[in-house]
Amino acid sequence: MMTSKSIPISEIFYSIQGEGKYSGHPSLFIRVGGCNLTCPGFSSHGCDSFYAVDKKYKSSWKMMSVNELIVEIEKYYPCDIILTGGEPTLYYQKFYPIIEKFKNITIETNTTIDIDFDKYPAFKDVSFAMSVKLSNSGEEYSKRVNKKAIKNIAKNAKKSFFKFVINSDVNSEIEDIIKEINLPIYCMPLGETKGELEKNAIFTFEFCLKHNYFYSDRIHIRLFSKKKGV
Ligand code: SF4
């Protein structure tokens, strides 16, 4: 039964963070169900985590209370905790007891939802992996870029960083998004299989050199391709 404290969870698994600032860290991944975008440009299914976005898969999502999630986290903690999805900030108020209780939390977000840092100040210690979607996501600009939300996170949560999925379609759009924000920028190759990843990796490598951005590989795709829960 859905309660006000219930969060739809697509999967929970312990693995190695495969991309971005904390790449290589042993981490507990909590993947929520539901997203406010669909990203039709990313694969034949749209988003590469389609089973956590497409409502067709809703029956596989488990409604969990925050206390049940805390019990799961305590089985693995101390390790990094990754709230991912889907879009975890859809439920950010409900996650707050976890944010207050644990350290080393990353929230992987499309950064379209404004966080109320005054009311929920513990979010200032969270690292937001701001994966703002680019035109290669297939989403409209007005849906995928919320500059107010981006600036608010950058101002309040100083451990945060940008994480962009790129291929040769990317032009100057990253510069538009990062303007006036001083946070690390990671770019990683688009692709949901090892082959696709390798096809875009050289371009990404050279793009990072040219713009002085950090290159991030995607360890889980390189090692396991489309396998879930790794
Ligand atoms: S924002 Fe992320 S989770 Fe949502 S549809 Fe796009 S890629 Fe998938």
CATH number, domain of 204, equals 3.20.20.70
* Distances 195 to 85, 164, 190, 205, 207 between C-alpha atoms, Å: 24, 19, 11, 16, 19
In this structure, the number of other CB atoms found within 10 A of the CB of residue 142 comes to 7
Residue 2, pLDDT score: 46
Mean pLDDT confidence for 172-177: 91
Tell me, what's the pLDDT at 5? Answer: 64
Nearest residue (CA) to ligand 1, atom 7:
47
Q: Which atom of ligand 1 is nearest to the CA of 139?
A: 6
Ligand 1 centroid–CA 44 distance in Å is: 14
Q: Are 88 and 120 in contact (CB under 8 A)?
A: no
CB 34 within 8 A of CB 53: yes
Q: How far is CA 113 from the centre of its chain?
A: 13
| Confidence band for 13, pLDDT divided at 50, 70 and 90 | very high
Residue 20: per-residue pLDDT? 96
Protein residue with its CA nearest to atom 8 in ligand 1: 47
Where does the pLDDT of residue 136 fall: very low under 50, low under 70, confident under 90, or very high at 90 and above? confident
Contact 154, 183 (CB under 8 A): yes
Distance 141 CA to ligand 1 centre (A): 14
* pLDDT of 226 higher than 60: yes
Q: Is 119 within a domain?
A: yes
User: Do the domain assignments include residue 229?
Assistant: no
Mutate to test the pocket of ligand 1, among 11, 49, 84 (most ligand atoms within 8 A of CB): 49
Range list of H helices, 75-228: 96-101, 141-144, 147-156, 173-178, 194-211, 219-224
Residues in CB range of 146: below 8 A, 6 or more apart:
111, 112, 113, 114
Number of domains in the chain: 1
> Residue 1 domain-assigned?
no
Residue 141 lies in a domain: yes
Q: How confident is the model at residue 45 (pLDDT cuts 50, 70, 90)?
A: low
214 contact partners, CB below 8 Å, separation of at least 6? 184, 185, 186, 187, 208
* pLDDT exceeds cutoff 70 at 24: yes
Q: Which of 29-33, 81-85, 155-159, 191-195 has the lowest mean pLDDT?
A: 191-195
Residue 129 lies in domain:
7-224
Confidence at 76, pLDDT banded by 50, 70, 90: very high
Q: Does ligand 1 come within 6 angstroms of the Cβ of 110? A: yes
Q: Which among 138, 127, 192 is positioned nearest to 162, based on CA atoms?
A: 127
Residue 17 lies in a domain: yes
Q: What pLDDT does 125 receive? A: 98
**Mean pLDDT of all residues in 155-183:** 92
What percent of the chain lies above the pLDDT cut of 90?
A: 77
Would 168 be classed as within a structural domain? yes
Alpha carbon distance 202, 36 (integer Å):
31
